Copies of this chain bind each other. A is one copy, B any other.
C-alpha cells in the first residue's frame, strides 16, 4: 500500500525534480536542433512542391485545428484566401550555423497584391527568453502593416497604436523597459488602452497577432537569468548553498504592474507555437485530409469573401463535410 506523500518527503526532492526537468529541457533543445537540421532539406523540397499548388496555405489555414482557426475572423479569411501566397516557419537563431536557441522562431507570410495592405511580406519573429523570475517563453516585437486606407485596417487602428507605443519605448533608451503601470501611461498608451476596451478582446483580427509583444525581457536579462539558473542547479547538485536573490522580491510585489495591460493579442505566443509545431509540420496532412473527404470546393467559398471571382454562389449551400482530423485509422467494435 502506498504511504501518503508528506510535506517532508516533498521538501527533500522538489528541487531535485525541477532541476531534473531542466536537464530534460536541455536535451529537448538539442533534439529540436537536430530535428531542424535533419528536416531542412525536406522542408526545402516541400516548399518547391507546394509552390505549384496555388492557395495551398490559405486552404491549410481554413482546415487548421481550433488552436489556430479560432483566431481567424471571417474578414481575415477573405484576405488570406484571396492573397496569401506562402507561409514559412524558420528557426532563425540556428540558421546558417547560428548557435542561438532553436526554440526561437520566425513566421513569414507572403502576399499577392491585395486591396488591404501594401506589404508583400509580413514576418513575425519570436525569441525564446528567460526572465529573472523564472518564467520562460516566446517574446516578440510589433510588425507594422501599411494599410491602403484607414477603412482597410483589419485591426481597427489597434496595430498602429501598438507600433506607436513601441517606438516611444525604444526612444526611452536601452535598458529601460516599457511603462507597465497604468498611472504612468503616456497619451499614446492611454489611447491604446481605451481602444483595446472599445474594440474588444473577442473579435480582434488575426492581423492583430503582428502586434504581440509578450513579456519585456531583453536578450541580456535572458542570458543572465539562464546562466544564474544553471549556476544554481550546479550548486544544488554539489550540495552547496544557493544564494537568495533579494532584488526580485520588490518587482513581484507591485500589483499595479501589468506587463500584459496593453497587449492586443495576448495569446500571440500560443498561436505562434500552434503554427510552428502543428500547422507547419502537419500542413500536408491537413491538406490531404480535406481532399480525401472529397470537399474540393471549400477553398472557393468563405463567408466574408468580397473579391469578385469565379466562385459559384450555389456551392455555399453545400454541406462543409471536411473533417478537421485525419481520417479514422480503424473501425471500432
Q: Does A293 contact B (CB under 8 A)?
A: no
Query: Closest Cβ of chain B: how far from A254's Cβ, in Å?
Result: 13
Which of A37-45, A161-169, A228-236 binds B?
Answer: A37-45
| Copies held by the complex | 2
Q: Does A225 contact B (CB under 8 A)?
A: no
Contact with A1, one of B18, B30, B34, B112 (Cβ below 8 angstroms) = B112
Residue of B nearest to A291 (CB): B10
Q: Does A285 contact B (CB under 8 A)?
A: yes
**For residue A96, which residues in chain B have a CB less than 8 angstroms away from its CB?**
none
How many residues of chain A get a CB closer than 8 Å to chain B's CBs?
72
**For residue A7, which residues in chain B have a CB less than 8 angstroms away from its CB?**
296
Which of A47-55, A63-71, A316-324 binds B?
Answer: A47-55
**For residue A309, which residues in chain B have a CB less than 8 angstroms away from its CB?**
1
Residue of B nearest to A137 (CB): B329
**For residue A215, which residues in chain B have a CB less than 8 angstroms away from its CB?**
330
A binding-site residues for B, Cβ under 8 Å? 1-7, 9-10, 12-14, 16-18, 20-21, 23-24, 27, 30-31, 34-35, 38-39, 42, 45-46, 49, 52-56, 58-59, 81-85, 112, 135, 137, 196, 201, 215, 258-263, 266, 281, 284-285, 287-288, 291, 296, 299-300, 307, 309-310, 329-333
Some 12 contacts from A to B, beta carbons below 8 A apart, are A2-B82, A2-B84, A4-B310, A10-B296, A13-B53, A17-B49, A17-B288, A20-B284, A27-B35, A31-B35, A259-B331, A260-B332
